């Protein structure tokens, strides 16, 4: 028996595909709108247990009810998409089942009475294989919305959520384009000495038609950039055609977020900095001299 936990996003076709490879019945527990339950049902699990219309309660308010529904199904494996609300419900299910919870899962393979789980560790720079027996909760990429097919039955099991309500929803303030879709990125690290010097970086980015980014200390430490601008393990992951790294040492915590770049160009005063080894091209020099010259040349 495999149970899939779903909240407000029905993009779970990968969860259902993994569940089918494990054998046995597949049950989806949905803490979201009826439309989500119907979309999940179209992916042909054996059953869908729907906890009722959430109204103005956030999906996380159904954590206890979802954990009860998962435990009632008696699963050997619980799958959840790597999304905020889904992770909350996955954690509640793990606690109810007294089961381990593993994140960053990239592959699940059945092996007799156990499953072999491959997951990323150390911020994505390595993987490990874990063999799990008994109940286990796995968090992985949900995939896409299931293609419409012969729907599974949707069983209504209205639940009472925790006394939490959504009183307002508003978009987060962001600066410029979403880094994840940028084709050129100019990123800066602790080689930048003062807030007013951000203008140097922005001028170069403007000349390149690029988005600006930074390392974590410049966003969460000194506040030179908004927090949605930093690249790294706990920040954004980018895949541009060009990643221009200015005054960035190139520690692994940052480079995990930039390794998908097609071409990396570094500007650094230290020829032995890790970023130089990571880069396709490197300029050993002071960004305060190199950046204005490069900007002028591009203009």
Query: Domain extents for the chain?
Result: 2-156, 179-298
Q: Is 176 exposed, middle or buried (0-12, 13-18, 19+ CB in 10 A)?
A: middle
pLDDT (tens digit per residue) in 91-141? 999 999 999 999 999 999 999 889 999 998 876 668 899 999 889 999 999
CB burial class (10 A; 0-12, 13-18, 19+) of residue 95? middle
pLDDT at 151 over 90: no
The structure tokens 């541009």 sit at: 240
Which token pair is 224? 């030179």
Judge whether 2-156 and 179-298 match in fold.
Answer: yes
Task: Write down the architecture of domain 2-156 according to CATH.
Answer: 3-Layer(aba) Sandwich (3.40)
In the chain, DSSP assigns E strands to 2-6, 26-30, 47-50, 77-81, 101-111, 114-121, 126-133, 136-140, 154-156, 184-188, 211-214, 242-246, 263-268, 281-284
Residue among 240, 198, 243 at smallest CA distance from 222 = 198
Distance, CA of 237 to CA of 223 (rounded, Å):
20
Among the ranges given (50-54, 135-139, 170-174, 180-184), the one the predictor scored with the smallest mean pLDDT = 170-174
Please tell me the predicted confidence (pLDDT) of residue 176.
55
Domain 179-298 architecture: 3-Layer(aba) Sandwich (3.40)
Weakest mean pLDDT among 9-23, 131-145, 161-175, 212-226: 161-175
Closest Cα partner for 47 from 66, 68, 65, 73?
A: 73
Residue percentage of the chain with pLDDT more than 70: 97
């Amino acid at each position: 028996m495999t149970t899939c936990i779903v909240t407000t996003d029905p993009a779970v076709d990968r969860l259902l595909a993994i569940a089918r490879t494990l054998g046995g019945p597949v049950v989806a527990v949905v803490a979201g709108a009826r439309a989500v339950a119907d979309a999940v049902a179209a992916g042909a699990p054996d059953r869908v247990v729907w906890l009722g219309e959430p109204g103005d309660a956030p999906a996380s308010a159904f954590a206890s009810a979802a954990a009860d529904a998962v435990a009632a199904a008696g699963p050997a494996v619980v799958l959840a998409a790597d999304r905020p609300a889904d992770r909350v419900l996955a954690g509640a299910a793990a606690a109810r089942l007294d089961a381990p919870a593993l994140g960053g899962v990239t592959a699940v393979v059945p092996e007799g009475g156990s499953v072999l789980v491959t997951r990323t560790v150390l911020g994505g720079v390595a993987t490990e294989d874990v063999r799990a027996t008994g109940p286990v909760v796995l968090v992985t990429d949900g995939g896409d919305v299931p293609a419409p097919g012969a729907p599974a039955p949707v069983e209504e099991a209205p639940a009472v959520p925790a006394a939490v309500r959504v009183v307002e929803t508003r978009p987060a303030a962001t600066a410029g384009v979403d880094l994840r879709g940028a084709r050129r990125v100019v990123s800066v690290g602790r080689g930048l000495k003062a807030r007013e010097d951000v203008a140097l970086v922005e001028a170069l980015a403007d000349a390149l038609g690029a988005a600006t980014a930074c390392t974590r200390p410049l966003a969460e430490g000194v506040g030179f950039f908004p927090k949605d601008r930093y690249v790294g393990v706990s920040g954004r992951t980018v895949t541009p055609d060009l990643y221009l790294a200015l005054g960035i040492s190139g520690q692994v915590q940052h480079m995990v977020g930039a390794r998908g770049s097609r071409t990396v160009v570094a500007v650094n005063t230290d020829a032995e900095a890790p970023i130089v080894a990571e880069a396709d091209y490197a300029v050993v020099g002071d960004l305060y001299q190199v950046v204005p010259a490069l900007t002028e040349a591009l203009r």
